[in-house]
Structure 1
């Protein structure tokens, strides 16, 4: 049943701008880094002479984190707005399926789409590094950690943005919240370790693994809270 619902949700976004955004985010990050290194090649390769790949990954991380935050806000809003625009929530919830499965399907859809964006970013940075002549000694683990761990650390925000996007017909509110969170994320390195926005930079508690783990655990908690609230509340 869950796979059928997820398949139906994928069909709903087939001709929507959501898929364009999934590709636009990683393409934008890679393109900006291509311009960055293209214009300042001698300077940046001098700064990162000891490890060019690490330099590229570090530079890209500063762009990828706000891209993740803004991307998840847009994706979750657009997923929820498909039902809001067509006033389809009542018809959808009238089907012989629980509200919990409906919410879960939407959450999985958002998580999968954002994961695809991360995969595209991973591949895009490898291609860019090779084009820039950084060699074939690619630090795959470090690159994967820098791309996928912020995604895991951002799980609470995926769940939260989806929750408010589904429960509010006016998408200006969740989108505004997402934009504010994106702006705050730019300064979150200076925040205390317990602030979830800082986890995206993988600097909390002395290691990337713990930031990602904290994000997954809090993400599960927010997801369950949203699921329970959605199951009890009447969505119009």
Structure 2
């Protein structure tokens, strides 16, 4: 499994994927930088009681749709390497299990998104420092929660997009699913707590973020399990 995953890393070494990994969080932080830059005095007065917490919450609002579109693009790009070169038969002809190949694609998407979320956390701190906030006063627990909990909560969609991207030659289909999901996620906070698209906002009746994260991880494991079984049984062209 580790050998397969290391091979996947080599495949993306000189790809545009790394640019996208940084572009997503940079875009989120940049939009909030513009927001604060244009309305600095107003926002400082409004959030005077908790400037750091308010900044982190504002960044988190943009993080959710960025995660949804980002995971769709990443899953498609990592799987598209084989589709574009018609290399699936060669890949699966190697002395590796089909399950390891599938799980490596999923693990790669998870790792790349983890890197992106880490860049987001660092960028948020840098933005706050630029705005004149004292980094020593930053609520780092809240920062890590808002940066990484949504990432865990969208695990079902990472699994779904990996499944679709790996098994479909036409990447327009999984990308369309991802785009529609991104648009839907912008309004998901209005729906009931059972709606998976809402989990990334960490909002629920219990007011406990873990109640959104745990169902996300559980459903993600189910989806990746179903996708794995389907991939192993299917003849990939």
* TM bin (shorter chain): over 0.9
Aligned residues of 1:29 and 1:60 also touching (Cα < 8 A): yes
Aligned residues of 1:205 and 1:211 also touching (Cα < 8 A): no
Shift of 1:15: 1.1
1:143 and 2:143 matched: yes
Q: Give structure 2 stretches of 5+ with no counterpart.
A: none
Q: How far apart, CA to CA, are the structure 1 residues paired with 2:152 and 2:211?
A: 11
Counterparts of 1:69-88 in structure 2 under 5 Å? 69-88=68-87
In structure 2, the partner of 1:185 is 185
1:62 and 2:33 matched: no
SS in 2 for 1:210: helix
Of residues 27-36 and 112-121 in structure 1, the stretch that sits farther from structure 2 once superposed is 27-36
1:18 and 2:17 matched: yes
SS in 2 for 1:204: coil
Moved >4 Å (runs of 4+):
none
In structure 1, the partner of 2:217 is 216
Shift of 1:204: 2.4
Q: How far apart, CA to CA, are the structure 2 residues paired with 1:204 and 1:81?
A: 36
In structure 1, the partner of 2:169 is 169
Shift of 1:16: 0.9
In structure 1, the partner of 2:230 is 229
Shift of 1:205: 4.2
In structure 1, the partner of 2:114 is 115
TM-score scaled by structure 1? 0.98
Shift of 1:3: 1.2
RMSD (Å), alpha carbons:
0.7
Q: How far apart, CA to CA, are the structure 2 residues paired with 1:8 and 1:160?
A: 22
Q: How far apart, CA to CA, are the structure 2 residues paired with 1:128 and 1:193?
A: 32
Aligned length: 235
In structure 2, the partner of 1:92 is 91
In structure 2, the partner of 1:28 is 27
Q: How far apart, CA to CA, are the structure 2 residues paired with 1:43 and 1:55?
A: 13
CA deviations over 1:29-87 (Å, ceiling 9, x no partner): 11111111011101111111100001101111111111100000000000110000000
Q: Give structure 1 stretches of 5+ with no counterpart.
A: none
Of residues 124-133 and 199-208 in structure 1, the stretch that sits farther from structure 2 once superposed is 199-208
TM-score scaled by structure 2? 0.98
